[in-house]
Amino acid sequence: MFFECESISFRLLGVVWLDQTNSKSSNIDRPHSSLSFRLESDALIETAAGQRLRLGSGTLSYVPAHLNYFRTAVRDRMIVIDFETQDYSSGEFETLVPEDPARYEDLFRQILRIWEEKEPGYRFEAAAVLSRIFAALYRDAHAAETSCDRLCRAMRYIERTHLKREFSLQQAAREACCSEPYFRRLFRQRYGVSPKQYVISLRMQHAAALICAGYHSLQEIAALCGYEDYKYFSVEFKRIMGVSPSQYIG
């Protein structure tokens, strides 16, 4: 992963501020790499290799040279750093959601200001800030290794309790030893969906298996999957499975 590189030699090409609404763009065979920080975003990235990523505010992203992708966004405000490097190659769009986005926002605003003002020696100053950004990324990426262990603990809790009515997202965050908002960001970064979406998917898969087994009424199945309200269960089931519980035949 780019963010885990301990040493990067680079040639800084430029720093750009983008503020776009209702945007659609294609990036085809761009010859250089880029690193961006999104201040406000709901961008959807789809790569030619099949990656599909939703990028929110506070997300850092690395795009390797020659990666083809399509971007759509209702709102996308970001600072982009373009550079060349021979130290790392990848065929994937890589992202990192830092625990302290404000620190990166400050660094990215610094390098943008230096690049736009173009005072004598600005390229050296901008390169120094980019080196600081790389150093911060390296530290945070290695700190994130411990977050994987924390997410494993949270995942074990989810697997044990997702069918129980007392399942608690707040408790899952406690298992991961972090705040609930940060846990949601870590979880989405690691698994590509929110914790709530993941739990609902597990419940509906179990409900579908119970329906096929034929031993329980639909109301009983709803209760066995953690739902007190059958109507709500039915709505969720149809949303995930495409048909109502009574129409599902496996």
Inside any domain, residue 158: no
Query: What are the beta bridge partners of residue 21?
Result: 75
Inside any domain, residue 57: yes
d(CA 63, CA 36): 9
Residue numbers of the domain that contains 32: 2-145
d(CA 80, CA 61): 9
Q: Which amino acid is at 80?
A: V
In a shared domain, residues 218 and 141: no
Inside any domain, residue 133: yes
Nearest to 161 by CA among 173, 169, 151, 149: 169
In a shared domain, residues 235 and 126: no
d(CA 8, CA 31): 18
Q: What is the Cα 109 distance to its own chain's centre?
A: 22
d(CA 225, CA 210): 10
In a shared domain, residues 32 and 113: yes
pTM value > 0.75: no
The tens-digit pLDDT sequence of the chain (250 residues) is: 788 787 889 999 999 999 999 999 988 888 999 999 999 999 999 988 888 888 999 999 999 999 999 999 999 999 999 999 988 877 889 888 888 899 999 999 999 999 999 999 999 999 999 999 999 998 887 665 555 677 888 888 998 999 988 888 888 888 887 778 888 888 888 888 899 999 999 999 999 999 999 999 999 999 999 999 999 999 999 999 999 999 997 6
Report the CATH number at residue 128.
2.60.120.280
For residue 173, what pLDDT is reported?
86
In a shared domain, residues 100 and 6: yes
Inside any domain, residue 150: no
